[in-house]
Amino acid sequence: MNNAVMTLLIAPYVGAVLAYILGKAKRELAFWVAEVVGFVLFLASAVLFLKYSDTPIDITYTWIHFGNLELPFGIYIDHLSIVMLLVATGLGFLDIHFAHDYMGEDPDQPRYYAKVLFFIGGMILLVITKDLIGAFVGWEFMGLASYLLISFWYFKKSAADAGMQAFLYTRFGDIFILAAIALLFFYAGTVDLVKLNEMANAGELDKTLALVAALFIFMGAIGKSGQFPLYPWLMNAMEGPTTVSALIHGATMVNSGIYIVARLFDFFSYTDALYIVANVAALSAFIGATSALVQKEIKKILAYSTMSHLSIAFVGLGVGSLAAGMLHLVNHAIFKALLFLSAGAVIYIAHHQKDAWKLGGLIKTAPFVALFMAMGSLSLAGVPPFSGYFSKEMVVAAAWEWGNGFTKTFVTIAALLSIAYITRLWILIFLGEPRHEEVGGSVHKPSNIWMRLPLGILAFLTLFISIWQMDIVHYIVGEEFIEPHVAGLGAFMLTCMLIIFLIVVGLYVKGLNLLYKIASHHFVQTIHQILYNGYYVEAMITWISKNIIVGAVAKAARWFDTYVIDYIVNKTLDFTYMVYKVFRAGHSGKIGTYMGQFVLGVAIIVIAILIIVKGL
Amino acid sequence: MVAVDIIFAPIVFSALVYFLTRGAQHLTKYIALGWFVVLFIIALNWYHQLPVDGGFLFLGNFLSVPQFGFELTLQIDALSVAMLLLTAALLILVVLTSWNEKKQAAYFSLLIMFSGPIFGVFMTTNVLWFFMFWELTLVPMLFLVGIWGAEERIYAAIKFFIYTHVFAMFMFVGFYLLYKQTGYWDLTLIKETALATPALIWWLMFLGFAAKLPVFPFHTWLPDAHVQAPSSISVLLAGVLLKMGAYGLIRFTVELMPITTLEFAKYMLIFGLITTFFAGMLAIYEKHIKKMVAYSSISHMGLVVVAISTMTYDGLSAALFEMIGHALVISPLFLIAGWLHHKTHTWYMDEMGGIMKKAPYAAAIFILAGMAALGLPGTMGFVGELTIIVSAVKAYGWWIAIIALAGMISAGYIIWAVRRAIHGPMSPIVEKADFSMSFAERLALAIYAVLIVYFGINPQPIFDLANQAFSFLGGM
Amino acid sequence: MSFIVLIAAGLLVPIFYKNNIVIAKLIAVIAFIMAAYFIFAGQSLGSLFPYFVADDATRLMEFVLLVTLAAVSLALTGFERPLIAQMLFLAGASVAFLETNNFFIYIVLFEVIAIISYILVANIRNFYNAEGAIKAFIAGAVASGIILLGFALFSFSTDSFDYASMNIAGKYTLIAVAIMLAGIFYKLTVVPMHGWAADAYSQVNHAAAAILSGVIKSVVLFATFKAFYKFLVAYPLATVLIFSFFAILTMTLANFMALWQKRVSKILAYSSIAHSGYALIPFAAAASVYSYAGVLYYAVAYIFMQTSVFLILNDLRRELGVKYLEDIKGLYKKAPLHSFIFTIQLFSLAGIPLLAGFLSKAVAFYAGVDAGLWWVVLIALLNSALAVGYYVWIIKHIYFDEPKGNEVIQMSTGSLIGQLILLAGTLYFGIVAGDIFNATISF
């Protein structure tokens, strides 16, 4: 068992190095190293899952001993970790597998696979660590990896910008975690995640401190999981390769925020921070769902849907149902990976055309992809018997049962809207006639092993995992689990969804002209603009950082440095020249002047002596 | 006798080496390399000889002047050894990175000469000798910056020389008063004696160290000197000379007059915080790649000051780690910044862009070191930042957690720099440039990278030294 | 004995001027060495005449003086041959001047040295030399007059001229001392009595300037401290105020003046004036036990470095026609050895450690701190930091700029040996402070 843990800890990094080095020698090898390592990681997780006895694996170790303080590093693997491990390594492996074709033409494959393995390593570290410090390490590893992967095509300006944005946005959240570590370390005396929960349950923590720390940690989660207001990076992250998007959105990064809140669930509930979590998440869910309605790019639609669904999972946690939140996290990871990989396949097929409005009619050329994507879409929309239905229902029910009005309303709207945007997306891609000449012509044929197989596995999973929904819940939270139940909610939701579905189908399949007419209205245009730009949050943050931080504060600092401090320093030279000029006046070179000065000096000495020694 | 020889031999023989190897310029660097390796081995040997209880390892008294209480007392503790090892290691790496420098005989002779006083600074406990070595380090630096520097080298060299010299004078008066009031030049003896005007002495000395560190508002010499110096010399300036300031601050304020320091720690803290954030903001605004790195260097030294100001066992350990970490992290950044200028003939990041494509190795190291500078886990930068913030919160309370913001600011300038210079579409300048790199340079950069990551994952060896150095603070 | 040897050699040397300068130099060097040996052996003028007592410090000073003069005579060329005899006489007079313990003899020898210095500068070759010599002469004459006036007053009010039993009380005594001090300040080039020096040092032959500004100043500094010590200690307040005031005034003015000069010799002249300012600090701090050591150390260090820089400038002027800073651009290529030694000596003047200039300042200024004048010392230290500005500026021209022409000059053997002796002195007293303290322990 410890072997499995060590493998999980070390293999990704060794694999990353190996993939890079071997890949440099022979490009093909990079993929194979990654594939093998990815599979080994999944195997290790599976071994942990199968061999898991009732007690969690708990290893503690002092990482740094400095002064009177000791910074710990520990491993803690319980059910929650194992679920996250399976998600991360399983989806990660499929993602690597899928990349064989998708990234097949890229000359920089060694770099790609090294980064991907590093990325998965970060996620693994996050979910198996015992301390906030270890979590922060994994957390930041993912930040780095996502930065490097999003700007994988660094020579594209947009990709480089997106990478920078992703790093800075998530980093902004991360520094709060760093602050939280320091606060907890000193005021709570521990950064041990398990112990914090225990202390919270025992009521040993100071409420204010715990609230502040919890909110700081949640700030980190906001950054990583793309909640309001730090979500814009999630959309721009689509500049990276689609497999990377799948990795970020399905297997790793975005789940980390939810995981950390879930891991510290008792701590969070003790401090009432969950209340804030629920509200922020509900707002984010609404923003994501509405913005997804009007996006053009396939991946942006999926990105906003990720945001929305992560928020739904957060709402689940926020209203107090750990089970609902985690269940949705797992289900979402699977169907979102499926959707992204399908989107990747579509993009691969369509010669890297990402604009949904320029695609169309692809069902003829890629029926399997269409089918798999449809399954993913249905799961995302929350249609039974796909897994998405169960978890979403549970979250909404929990929100109705325990949440406040704001949460309730917004999360329901977000949940209902998912069918609208995903149906729209599917229709735009697969139905109708090709709207772009490239797509109409020759297409890449997706291969069976490398593309259809992972999609098929995921599609299969998203359908059949429904069977074990309750088992997953029990596995994570134990047997004594209260299922939220709101009478008639399921029926209400399904009815609403059906209505929305029909409207969307009507509009996009038959009534495009009507749609254009509506869209051209001035008021609708305005709304469209707001939604399309993600409520201008990105514009606002950019404005603040550009004009306030760089343009005002940094510029003022620069001004002060150049024209006050350094000015004074450099002006000392002019000052010496001024003094010199004054002094020079006395140096005429005439002996008479000198004699005058001489006499002056004599006078000074004599008078001074007489004054000082007066009375003698 | 070895102890005093390794200080004076390089000073005396550097001139000889210069005149002997003027005819065979390529030989000098091997002599320099060999000498620095010897220094490293000697330092390592001392490291193993250190007394376990954290005291001083006595190396001898020389040139005694009993009437003036003035003698070259050489004794080292863990703090000194840490600095000596760092210095020797950096010197070795500096030889590697300046393998193809012009006028090699003079260049490496000056480096050899530099190794004497810099070792002296860290080895002597005699205040006057400390000051003498302190001042003497400026001389080779003046020439190294002034002769091998970039366009504005003369302005930078002279500004650096005079600026630090002026502020050293305040420190010197402080030292005078120390002797006047205690009758000893030796630190270990002064420590046991009461001072009449500790506040005055403290501030005079602080001024000297502050300008060296440098602390806002005494920092303006640094961007000029570091930018104009050849990159390898920037490494020495940032890696060793700035550390002298921090070392002095620890030796002369914290160790020598702890009670007074405790009283003024709050001012030190304020200076440190302002430095960190002010320099960080300057770095964000900066378009000049090496200046950006220089401001980042100042910003990190601000953190060191914050850590020192805590006056606690753990705070100082963290400070020492950050000092070493900063030296190893900022060096590759300086080297690559200078190298890029050398290859592209531009200083401005906007005019670079797409370096990654043409020089992936340098770009990768730059990103790695940049990540370390912004405190990414797995690198030395993170350990330094984490331990500093933890110890600062312990000493000052919750509000000091705002220094976490420094991590955001540094992320801002590093990532933006990477975006402009390394990533992005390739600029015409980069298109034309030839990015070949010598093996020695590659090797040195690789060593930096390995050290950054190794001590980032396993920092305990350095902390062991630090704990040993500051164990006297254990009770505080 | 040493006195006699020196005077005899001084009389002997001119005979060989015409025929063989080498023999003249040899005789002079041998005379210096012999004199140094006698001093080393413990013989002083006191064994021949009364009123002369040589303590350890005096002997050390004499020794250094003789070594320096030997070095100078080695470095001279035929053109400066009259200097050799003058130096021998100067050495003889200085030995007596340093050893005396009688105020009367002090004044007499002061005048003797003044006269020798007029003769030194009288080696006139051009208009500039003449101007400098005339200025030195007229100012010197006025100063001599003032000193004699003061001394006349003093002789009325004292019962004895012996240093130990001089009468130091009384209004007239004080006025007399004040007036004499003013005259001596002239020789020490204290502002505002410095005007002549700035011109004379830079305009007369540089070898003469080396002796004037380096040797004579140091000798006067040391002897004066001994002569006036009793007064300095008796009136602490007046001492502190007057000497601090003049010290600060001198160094500040001289440093600011030096910063913006374009002639190298003028920079060195002002630097010499500034050093007088620093040297006054141990005077101000006469009450401190370190004042004697401070003065001695300062004189010893100063003699080496100042003499050396002017001698090198002399070489450069002769070989390369160096006058202005422009002319020494890229000097390291034209004259590597000159540049190297010049730089070290300049660093010594600037107060860079491991060179005599630093330790002497450290000890002299410590006397000030010891007497409680730390603020004066702070100003002095800041001044010396300011002074670094013009020393580095010279070095900048030598090393950082590119040369205009491409002629290369060698250092003559005599010059090299002389310079190495001076360099050895600068280095030795920069590292080893023990000798100075051992010499002054008895005081």
Residue by residue, DSSP assigns B307-360 as HHHT-SHHHHHHHHHHHHHHHHHHHHHHHHHHHHHHHHS--BGGG---HHHH-H
d(CA B276, CA B301) in angstroms, rounded, equals 7
Full DSSP string of C13-40:
GGGGTTT-HHHHHHHHHHHHHHHHHHHH
Interface test with B, best of A66, A147, A156, A256 (most B CBs within 10 A): A66
Longest dimension (CA), chain C: 67
Question: Token pair for residue A210?
Answer: 């715990």
CB contact under 8 A, A598 and C181: no
Q: Supply the Cα-derived Rg of chain C in whole angstroms.
A: 20
Residues of A in contact with B387 (CB under 8 A): 64, 66, 69, 71
CB contact under 8 A, A598 and C235: no
Contacts of A393 by beta carbon, 8 Å cutoff, 6+ apart: A382, A489, A490, A493
Q: What is the pLDDT of residues B272-320, one digit of tens each?
A: 999 999 999 999 998 899 999 999 999 999 999 999 998 888 889 999 9
d(CA A152, CA A158) in angstroms, rounded, equals 11
With beta carbons less than 8 A apart as the criterion, state whether C308 and C357 touch.
no
- Nearest residue in C to A605, CA atom: C178
pLDDT at C440 over 90: no
Q: Supply the Cα-derived Rg of chain B in whole angstroms.
A: 21
User: Which residues form the domain of C330?
Assistant: 2-440
pLDDT at A487 over 90: no
CA distance A565 to chain C (A): 19
CA distance A123 to chain B (A): 14
Query: Range with the lowest mean pLDDT among A77-86, A434-443, B300-309?
Result: A434-443
Per-position b or e across A453-490, b if 16+ CB within 10 A of its CB: ebbbbbbebbbebbeebeebbebbbeeeeeebeeeebb
d(CA B309, CA B270) in angstroms, rounded, equals 9
Q: Closest to C253 (Cβ–Cβ): which among A583, A589, A608? A: A583
| Higher-pLDDT residue of B6, A481 | B6
pTM value is 0.92
pLDDT at A615 over 60: no
CB contact under 8 A, C245 and A612: no
Question: Token pair for residue A304?
Answer: 């906003």
Q: What percent of chain B has pLDDT above 90?
A: 39
Neighbours of chain B (3+ CB pairs under 8 A): A, C
CB contact under 8 A, A64 and B284: no
Number of domains present in the structure of chain C: 1
pLDDT at B474 over 70: no
Residues of A in contact with B285 (CB under 8 A): 550, 554-555, 557-558
Q: What is the pLDDT of residues C344-402, one digit of tens each?
A: 999 999 989 889 999 999 999 999 998 888 889 999 999 998 899 899 999 999 988 88
Confidence of residue C213 (pLDDT cuts 50, 70, 90): confident
- Whether the complex's predicted ipTM surpasses the cut of 0.95: no
Whether B461 has its CB under 8 Å from any CB of chain A: the answer is no
CB contact under 8 A, B176 and C399: no
pLDDT at A354 over 90: no
Q: Which residues pair with A60 in a beta bridge?
A: A74
pLDDT of residue A438: 60
pLDDT at B369 over 90: yes
Q: Closest to A554 (Cβ–Cβ): which among B284, B391, B466? A: B284
Residues of A in contact with B315 (CB under 8 A): 67
Whether A171 has its CB under 8 Å from any CB of chain B: the answer is yes
Q: What is the arithmetic mean of pLDDT over B61-88? A: 87
Whether A156 has its CB under 8 Å from any CB of chain C: the answer is no
Contacts of C50 by beta carbon, 8 Å cutoff, 6+ apart: none
pLDDT at A440 over 70: no
- Nearest residue in B to A173, CA atom: B408
Residues of A in contact with C242 (CB under 8 A): 605, 608-609, 612
Q: What is the pLDDT of residues C80-111, one digit of tens each?
A: 778 888 889 999 999 889 888 888 999 999 99
CB contact under 8 A, C378 and B147: no
- What mean pLDDT value characterizes chain C? 87
CB contact under 8 A, C235 and A612: yes
With beta carbons less than 8 A apart as the criterion, state whether A296 and A355 touch.
yes
pLDDT at C217 over 70: yes
Confidence of residue B1 (pLDDT cuts 50, 70, 90): low
Residues of C in contact with A606 (CB under 8 A): 175, 178-179, 182
d(CA A371, CA A456) in angstroms, rounded, equals 9
d(CA C391, CA C303) in angstroms, rounded, equals 18
Residues of C in contact with B135 (CB under 8 A): 352-353, 358
Task: Give the amino acid at A412.
Answer: T
Contacts of C49 by beta carbon, 8 Å cutoff, 6+ apart: none
Task: Give the amino acid at C196.
Answer: W
Neighbours of chain C (3+ CB pairs under 8 A): A, B
Confidence of residue B54 (pLDDT cuts 50, 70, 90): confident
Q: What is the arithmetic mean of pLDDT over A479-483? A: 74
User: A445 burial class (0-12, 13-18, 19+ CB within 10 angstroms)?
Assistant: exposed
Residues of A in contact with C389 (CB under 8 A): 576
Full DSSP string of B352-401:
---HHHH-HHHHHHHHHHHHHHTT-TTSHHHHHHHHHHHHHHHHH-GGGG
Angle between helices C264-284 and C217-234 (to 10 degrees): 30
**SS3 label, residue B220:** coil
Chain C residues with CB under 8 Å of a chain A CB are: 134-135, 138-139, 142-143, 146, 169-171, 174-175, 177-179, 181-182, 185-186, 190-193, 195-196, 198-199, 235, 237-238, 241-242, 245, 253, 256-257, 259-260, 386, 389
- Nearest residue in C to A594, CA atom: C195
CB contact under 8 A, C257 and A587: yes
Whether B101 has its CB under 8 Å from any CB of chain A: the answer is no
pLDDT at B475 over 60: no
Interface test with A, best of B386, B450, B455, B476 (most A CBs within 10 A): B386
Give me the helices (H) in B50-152, please: 78-97, 104-123, 127-136, 138-148
With beta carbons less than 8 A apart as the criterion, state whether C351 and C421 touch.
no
Whether A215 has its CB under 8 Å from any CB of chain B: the answer is no
| Higher-pLDDT residue of A366, C229 | C229
CB contact under 8 A, B180 and C290: no
Q: Closest to A67 (Cβ–Cβ): which among B285, B402, B467? A: B467
CB contact under 8 A, A168 and B415: yes
Whether A591 has its CB under 8 Å from any CB of chain C: the answer is yes
Per-position b or e across A300-310, b if 16+ CB within 10 A of its CB: bbbbbbbbbbb
Q: What percent of chain A has pLDDT above 70?
A: 98
CA distance C397 to chain B (A): 10
Confidence of residue B451 (pLDDT cuts 50, 70, 90): very high
Interface test with C, best of B62, B68, B126, B153 (most C CBs within 10 A): B68
Confidence of residue B476 (pLDDT cuts 50, 70, 90): very low
Closest CA to A92 of A175, A16, A178: A16
pLDDT of residue A570: 87
- Nearest residue in C to B151, CA atom: C400
Q: What is the pLDDT of residues C285-311, one digit of tens each?
A: 888 888 888 999 999 999 999 999 999
pLDDT at C442 over 80: no
d(CA B136, CA B91) in angstroms, rounded, equals 17
CA distance B101 to chain C (A): 16
Mark which residues 175-204 of A lie under 8 Å from B by CB. Answer: 175-176, 178-179, 181-183, 185-187
Mark which residues 567-586 of A lie under 8 Å from B by CB. Answer: 569
Say how many CB pairs under 8 Å bridge A and C.
98
Residue extents of the structural domains in chain A: 305-526, 533-585, 586-616
DSSP designation for A186: I
